[in-house]
């Protein structure tokens, strides 16, 4: 039988240590990352103990009678230790449902951790969602991911454009400060969609200072002018592009072609995967075809982020 406890700040060190040792935790679950926006969410993360040992954790927040896989994170499913088994996780979810009934929770929105971020296979939760919870898939967002050991060959035109950018003097560098790139990104998002990046410049700088090797900015530069770039999140051997953008001149000069030629074939060639992130809106019902076309042109191929709904009969 599991003992279920609600996370408090006194558990931060234990929580962070478990994330590091888990089968499927990433630095996004570190409390130094999760808690930067704690004022926006009513935290309701859970910790599961079996025979006195921490077995699993669920990053979550609550709104009314709904428990969410943490809404401040791209994904946030069950984080498990190396001993976690299919039978154990089935029992965990069975007991979790009873616990949530007592807590007045009527619904759970559960964002599974995509399999490429697993250190060891860890999809016991998906089986439990089916077997115990009769969960419904309510969102399926498609991302574009590159197997860096087997990168699809670029088109002749894309190779030509990358080489042309190089011949024109564009260089790639890792930036100490994301500000120049962030202003390009913010300008593009504001002009095209009327929105700002998810992270403010101040938040991005704060997180990069806390995780300098996990959060990096790379820029394409000509004569010391930033033409474009990307912010990447690095989880062990997985690279995720959090933001990508180029100025009008950067687009004309094919700066991003050269940037990703460098990242894919040089900087991260010994990593396992490069994940370009979602190209969908409204839970996957709207596909941004031009965006995913660009990512597929770099070699990305389909990988899904899945969200499930659990209805709890109280």
Closest CA to 175 of 222, 223, 230: 230
- Residue 6 φ then ψ, to 5°: -85, 135
pLDDT of residue 313: 78
As assigned by CATH, the class of the 149-271 domain is alpha beta
Residues 229/219, Cβ–Cβ less than 8 Å: yes
Q: What residue ranges of the chain are covered by domains with CATH 3.40.630.30?
A: 2-141+306-311, 149-271
Of 67, 74, 63, the C-alpha closest to 29 is 74
Cα 39-41-42 angle, rounded to 5 deg: 105
Looking at residue 193, its pLDDT comes to: 87
Q: What pLDDT is attached to residue 134? A: 95
Quick one: which H or E segment has residue 311? strand 301-311
- C-alpha distance from residue 84 to each of 81, 135, 239, 293 (Å): 6, 21, 26, 39
Q: Are 192 and 291 in contact (CB under 8 A)?
A: no
State how far the Cα of 262 lies from the Cα of 264, in Å rounded to an integer. Answer: 6
Closest by CA position to 84, among listed 60, 119, 108: 119
Q: What does the pLDDT profile of the chain (314 residues) look like in tens digits? A: 999 999 999 999 999 999 999 999 999 999 999 999 888 899 999 999 999 999 999 999 999 999 999 999 999 999 999 999 999 999 999 999 999 999 999 999 999 999 999 999 999 999 999 999 999 999 999 999 999 999 999 988 899 999 999 999 999 999 999 999 999 999 999 998 899 999 999 999 999 999 999 999 999 999 999 999 999 999 999 999 999 999 999 999 999 999 999 999 999 999 999 999 999 999 999 999 999 999 999 999 999 999 999 999 75
CA–CA separation, 264 and 283 (whole Å): 29
As to burial, measured by CB atoms within 10 angstroms (0-12 exposed, 13-18 middle, 19+ buried), residue 17 is exposed
Pairing type for strands 215-222 and 225-235 reads antiparallel
Homologous superfamily in CATH for domain 2-141+306-311: Gcn5-related N-acetyltransferase (GNAT) (3.40.630.30)
Radius of gyration of the chain (CA): 21
Closest CA to 247 of 290, 199, 175, 186: 186
- Residue 79: which residues within 8 A CB-CB, separation 6 or more? 18, 19, 22, 23, 24, 25, 29, 56, 57, 58, 59, 113
The answer to whether 258 and 252 are in contact (CB under 8 A) is: no
On whether the CB atoms of residues 87 and 124 are closer than 8 A, the answer is no
């Amino acid at each position: 039988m599991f003992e279920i406890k609600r996370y408090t700040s006194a558990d931060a060190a234990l929580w962070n240590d478990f994330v590091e040792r888990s089968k499927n935790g990433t630095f996004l679950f570190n409390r130094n990352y999760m808690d930067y926006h704690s004022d926006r969410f009513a935290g309701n993360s859970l910790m599961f103990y079996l025979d006195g040992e921490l077995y699993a954790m669920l990053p979550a927040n609550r709104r009314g009678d709904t428990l969410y896989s943490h809404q401040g994170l791209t994904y946030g499913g069950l984080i498990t230790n190396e001993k976690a088994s299919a039978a154990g996780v089935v029992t965990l979810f069975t007991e979790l449902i009873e616990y949530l009934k007592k807590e007045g929770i009527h619904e759970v929105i559960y964002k599974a951790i995509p399999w490429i971020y697993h250190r060891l296979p860890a999809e016991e939760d998906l089986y439990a969602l089916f077997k115990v919870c009769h969960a419904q898939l309510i969102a399926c967002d498609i991302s574009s991911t590159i197997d860096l050991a087997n990168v699809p060959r670029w088109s002749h035109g894309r190779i030509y454009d990358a080489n042309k950018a190089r011949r024109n003097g564009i260089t790639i560098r890792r930036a100490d400060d994301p500000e120049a790139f962030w202003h390009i990104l913010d300008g593009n998002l504001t002009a095209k969609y009327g929105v700002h990046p998810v992270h403010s410049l101040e938040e991005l700088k704060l997180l990069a200072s806390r995780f300098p090797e996990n959060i990096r900015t790379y820029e394409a530069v000509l004569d010391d002018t930033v033409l474009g770039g990307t912010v990447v999140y690095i989880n062990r051997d997985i690279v995720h592009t959090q933001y990508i953008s180029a100025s009008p001149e950067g687009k004309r000069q094919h700066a991003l072609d050269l940037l990703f030629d460098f990242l894919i074939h040089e900087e991260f060639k010994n990593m396992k995967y490069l994940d370009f992130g979602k190209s969908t809106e409204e839970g996957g019902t709207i596909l941004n075809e031009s965006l995913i076309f660009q990512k597929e042109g770099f070699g990305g191929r389909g990988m899904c982020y899945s969200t499930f709904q659990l209805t709890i009969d109280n």
